[in-house]
Chain A
Amino acid sequence: MDLHFGDSKPTDEERAAVDALLGPPESSWEGAARDEMRAADLRWARGGREARDRRDLLLPGLHALNDRVGWISEGALDYLCRRLTVPPAEAYGVATFYAMFSVRPRPATVLHVCTDLACTAAGAPELCAGVEARLGPESGVRVERSPCLGLCERAPAALVIRAGEEISARPALEDEAVQADGGSGGTAPGVGKGKGRRGRATMRATAVCAPATVDTTVSAATAPESAPAEPPPATAVPQAGDPTLTLLKRIGTVDPASLDDYRAHGGYTALRRAFELGPAGVIREVTDSGLLGRGGAAFPTGRKWQATAAQPDHPHYLVCNADESEPGTFKDRVLMEGDPYALVEAMTIAAYATGAHRGYLYLRGEYPRATHRMRHAIEQARARGLLGDDVLGQGYAFDIEIRRGAGAYICGEETALFNSIEGYRGEPRSKPPFPVEKGLFGKPTVENNVETLVNVLPILTMGAPAYAAIGTGRSTGPKLFCVSGGVARPGIYELPFGATLGELLDLAGVRDGLRAVLLGGAAGGFVRPDETDIPLTFEGTREAGTTLGSGVVMAFDDTVPLPRLLLRIAEFFRDESCGQCVPCRVGTVRQEEALHRIVERTGAAAADDVALLREVGRAMRDASICGLGQTAWNAVESAIDRLGAYE
C-alpha cells in the first residue's frame, strides 16, 4: 500500500482529538512533526500489518474529530489516515457514509429534529418549521431533519449535539455519578469542575428535548449544557413497579448507576449459575428455553450460540447489536438507560457460553444517555472484577468495548455492523458465509440484540422449563413492545407472548378514531383496527400475514393522512439505503417518486403507480442483498392491501 496524502494539515485541535484516542504519533510516518523527530526515526515506519490492524479505530477516530470540531476537514482526515495507515480515499468513503458526520464545515451545534412517524403524528412538521424560523444561519446551530430518534414515547423529539472539548483523561466516574443523580438531561462532562478554562460554550454537550416545543428546543440548542434534565427511564415504562415484570422489573426500582443496587436486586445470580452450568450447559438451557432473537429475524438463539461455540477457528467474538434504528423502536434504549448492568451481565454469559473473550457493544450514535450509562456500568464492572482477566474469580477473561454508530440504519444489519466496527463502509456482506462462521474480523461471531441478551438472565435464574412455560409453544418468554402514536400511555410494555394486539392497545389506552396500527416499524406492516385479535407472537403475526419485527406497535388515527405516512416511510428507506445493490439503491428512489405522485390521488388515477410499486417492490424483496431492501416495500404493500390505501 503506497499511501498518498494531500497538503492539508490538521489544526492543533484536530490533532489533539485524534491523539487523545490513539496516543501521540511515534514517528513521522504517523504524522509527527519533523522537528519532533529524532534522527533515529528517519527511516522508521510503523507500517505493515501492525498499523493496518488498527483499522477498526477509524470510526472511533472520526467520532473523536466530529465530537471535538463538529465536522471532518481534509487535514484532519489525512492525519487520522496517517495514524492508522488507511488510504484517504477509503476513509473519505467511510466518513461520507454516516449521517452524523460532515466533510463540509458546519456549526459546532447540530440539532436533529425527528420527523419520523410518531413525531410527525405528534406535530413534528410544526416543530421543524418553528425551530428553523428561529435558528437561522446566524444562530450557530445547524438544524437537520432526522429519522426516528428512538424517543417515540415522548414525541415529538429533538436531539442537540454540540461539539467541543471533552475531558480526555477519564477518571470521570465522579462526573457520571453526579450526572446520574441529576437524571442527566443536558450533559456536559466536566462543567463546573474547574476545568472550564475555555468556558462552558466550548465543551462538548448533548441534550434531549422530548416532548419538544419550539421554545424548549431553541433554548436547548443554544445552551445544551443547561437544558433541563431528561425524565428518568422509568417514565418510558408505564408498568414500572409491577412485581410480575421480568425484563423490566429493575427499571425504576434500581439506581442504574449503582452496581451494588443491581446486585441487591438479583444481579449477577445468572452469571453465577452460568459458571455452575459450564458453557455447554448454558447453551443447553438457552436452547431448551426456546428463546428466539428479538431484533426482528426471530432466529433461535441457542442454535446460533451452539453454531458459534462449535467453530474450531479462534478467537470467537460477541457482538451486541444496540444500533436500534427501526422507526418506532426504543426498547433497547430504555433497557440500557434503566438497567445497564443487566446487559453487561448478559453479554458476559453469552460470551462465556460461546467461547468469546471480547465483546463489542455497537450502540446507536443518537443515544447519548444510553452510551453514558453503559460506559459507566462497564467501568464499574471492570473495577469490581466482573469484567477483565478473571471474571468472578472463575479464571474466565472477558471485556466489553463500546462502539458508537454514527447515523446509519443499515448498520443494524448484522454484517453491515461488522464492516462498520472494522472501519469500512457499513455495507452488508453477502451470506453465506454466515457470521457464526465468518463474522467480525472474519472470525466466528455471535451477534444478538439487546433484548435477546437480557432474556438470558431469567432463563438462567428461573430455569429453561419455567421460562419456556411463559408465552406460547413456539414463542416463549416475555416480550417487550414499543407502543407509540395515538395512545394515552405510550412506552415500553412487557407482556408474555400470546397477548393480543387489542389487549396491548387497551393497556396503553388507545385513543378513539383508530385508523391503522403499524407492527414492526418501517420494515413491518400495517393492520386494520378490526384486526386487534391478532396474537402478538412470531407465529401468530406470520399467520395473519404481518410481522412482529422488533416489537413496534404504532397506533394512528386520522390526524395524519395515510399517504403522507407511506411517503415518510419511503423517504426513510431512500435515505438509509447503503447504495450497494441496484434493486434497493434505485428501487427505493422509484418507490418514493411513485408515492409522491399519488399522495393526493385514489382509484384509477393511482392504479398505474400502484401497479408500478408492486413490480418494483417485488424485485426489491426478491433481489436485494439484505433485509433493508427486502423489506422496504412491506409497509406500503400492507397499506395498499389491508387498509385500502389509494382506493
Chain B
Amino acid sequence: MTAIPLGVPRRLVEFTLDGQEARVPEGSTILDACRAAGKEVPTLCQGDTLTPKNACRVCVVEVEGSRTLVPACSRKAEPGMEVRTDTERARHSRKVVLELLASSVDLSTTPEAAGWIKEYEAKPDRFGPDAARVEEEPRVDNDLYVRDYGKCILCYKCVDACGDQWQNTFAISVSGRGFDARIAVEHDAPLTDSACVYCGNCIEVCPTGALSFKSEFDMRAAGTWDESRQTGTTTVCAYCGVGCNLTLHVQDNEIVKVTSPHDNPVTHGNLCIKGRFGYQHVQNRD
C-alpha cells in the first residue's frame, strides 16, 4: 500500500467572509474559502491544476482596506481579513467583465457563461454593432486539434500548461500586445512547424473551447456534437507502464474525445499524444 504523506499540519486562518466567520488552512485562497462555504464565484482563468494567473478578473471580490477589488482565485486568505463577495461594486465589475468578453469573443462553448451573463444581467450588445471583435478563421492545420481564436479569452492557461507548470515544451506564448495579443507559436507559424508535441494538455485546460479536438470541432460544425448522448468511461492507458487514467468520451459508439481526471495522482489531467489522440485503433473495425 502506498503511504500517504500527511505533511506538516497547516494552521487555520480566521477571517470574515460576507459577515460570517471563515476558517481555512493557511495558504488557501479566498476562492477556496468561498467554495468551502458553498458560495458561487464565477471563474474563467482559474484552473484546478494550475497556478492562477488572475487575468480574467471575473472572480473579483471586495476586501476591506483594499483600494481596488482583488481576485479571489489568487489572493490568499489572511487573518482578520474582511471579504465581501456579493457587493454592488464586485457585481458591477463582474458584469462589465462578462460584457467585455462576450462582446469581443464567442462564449458559446464556454460552460456556465450563459448562466453568468443572465445572473449578472450583462448586456454584451450595448457596445453596438461596430464593437471590435476577435474575428479570425479557426486554424485547422493538423489532424488532432483546432485553434479557434474567435473563442480565446487569453486566460494564459494553455501557455502555463505547455510551459513550466506541466509540459515544459514551451511551444506557445502570448504574442503581440493589448487587444491584438494572441496565443501563438514561434513566428506565428502553423502548429506543424512548431515545437508542439501534441500532448493536448492545452485542450484539457482551455475554458472556452477555443482549443478543441478536431473530432469535436468537425462534429460541432456538422451539428452532430451532443454531450447529452455521450458517456465517459475512465480506463487505464495501455501504451506504457506509467498507468495514466484516460476518460474516453463516447458518442454513438465512437470515441470523440479523450480527457484525464484532474484529481488523478498520476496525470493531474495531463496525457501524452498517445493517450490523448492514439485511440483510432480501438474503433478500427475492419
Contact = CB atoms under 8 A, between A and B. Distances in A.
B285 interface: no
Interface stretch (A155-163, A281-289, A571-579): A571-579
Contact of A593 (B57, B127, B175): B127
A582 B126 contact: no
Interface stretch (A91-99, A165-173, A452-460, A538-546): A91-99
Contact of B55 (A574, A580, A589, A612): A580
Interface string A600-633: 0000000000001001101101111100001000
A103 interface: yes
Interface stretch (A2-10, A117-125, A221-229): A2-10
Nearest to A426: B177
Contacts of B193: 6
Contacts, number: 169
A1 interface: yes
B173 A582 contact: no
Nearest to B171: A89
A593 B128 contact: yes
Contact of A91 (B95, B97, B186): B186
A621 B60 CA distance: 12
Given A2-B168, A6-B189, A581-B57, A90 B173 contact: yes
Interface in B153-183: 153-154, 156, 163, 168-181
Nearest to A87: B170
A585 interface: yes
B96 interface: yes
| Most-contacted residue by chain A among B56, B104, B178, B195 (CB, 10 A) | B178
A88 B195 contact: yes
A462 interface: no
A579 B56 contact: no
Contact of B177 (A578, A619, A621, A623): A578
B178 A430 contact: no
B132 A589 contact: yes
B270 to A, nearest CB: 16
Given A89-B194, A90-B173, A593-B132, A622 B68 contact: yes
B174 A93 contact: yes
Nearest to B44: A582
A466 interface: no
A93 B184 contact: yes
Contacts of B169: 2
B177 A577 contact: yes
Interface residues of A, number: 52
A585 B181 contact: yes
A423 B131 CA distance: 34
B99 to A, nearest CB: 8
A618 B99 CA distance: 14
A560 interface: no
B68 A92 contact: no
Interface residues of B, number: 53
Given A3-B195, A579-B180, A586 B100 contact: yes
Interface string A35-77: 0000000000000000000000000000000000000001001
Given A87-B195, A623-B69, A586 B104 contact: yes
Nearest to B76: A432
Given A589-B179, A612-B126, A88 B54 contact: no
B103 interface: yes
A611 B125 CA distance: 15
Nearest to B185: A89
Given A89-B185, A624-B57, A582 B97 contact: yes
Given A612-B126, A616-B96, A623-B69, A579 B60 contact: no
B251 interface: no
B92 interface: yes
| Most-contacted residue by chain B among A1, A92, A575 (CB, 10 A) | A92
A400 B189 CA distance: 39
Contacts of A582: 55-58, 97, 100-101, 153-154
A74 B187 contact: yes
Contacts of A575: 178
Nearest to B62: A622
Given A4-B194, A582-B55, A623-B68, A576 B187 contact: no
Contacts of B49: none
A587 B96 contact: yes
A579 B178 contact: yes
A96 to B, nearest CB: 4
A156 B213 CA distance: 53
Contacts of B180: 579
| Most-contacted residue by chain B among A90, A91, A612, A621 (CB, 10 A) | A90
| Most-contacted residue by chain B among A581, A593, A594, A612 (CB, 10 A) | A581
Contact of A430 (B74, B96, B189): B74
B93 interface: yes
Interface in B90-116: 92-93, 95-97, 100-101, 103-104
B159 to A, nearest CB: 9
Interface in A96-115: 96-97, 99, 103
Contacts of A93: 173-175, 184
B106 to A, nearest CB: 14
B118 interface: no
B135 interface: no
Contacts of A74: 186-187
Interface string A541-582: 000000000000000000000000000000000111111111
B103 A92 contact: no
A524 to B, nearest CB: 17
A103 B187 contact: yes
B169 to A, nearest CB: 7
Nearest to A575: B178
Interface in B228-244: none
A633 to B, nearest CB: 12
A601 to B, nearest CB: 14
Nearest to B89: A622
A511 interface: no
B186 A585 contact: no
B188 interface: yes
B100 A583 contact: yes
B126 A625 contact: no
Contacts of A3: 170, 195
B130 interface: yes
Given A74-B187, A89-B172, A624-B68, A588 B178 contact: yes
26 contacts: A1-B170, A3-B195, A6-B187, A74-B187, A77-B186, A87-B171, A87-B186, A93-B184, A576-B177, A577-B178, A579-B176, A580-B154, A580-B156, A583-B100, A585-B181, A586-B179, A588-B179, A593-B130, A593-B131, A612-B126, A619-B93, A619-B97, A622-B92, A623-B68, A623-B93, A625-B54
Q: Give 4 nearest A-B pairs by CB, closest first.
A: A87-B170, A4-B195, A93-B173, A579-B181
Interface of B: 54-58, 60, 68-69, 71, 74, 89, 92-93, 95-97, 100-101, 103-104, 126-128, 130-132, 153-154, 156, 163, 168-181, 184-189, 193-195
Given A77-B187, A590-B127, 10 more contacts: A74-B187, A89-B171, A92-B185, A430-B71, A575-B178, A577-B177, A582-B56, A587-B100, A588-B179, A623-B69
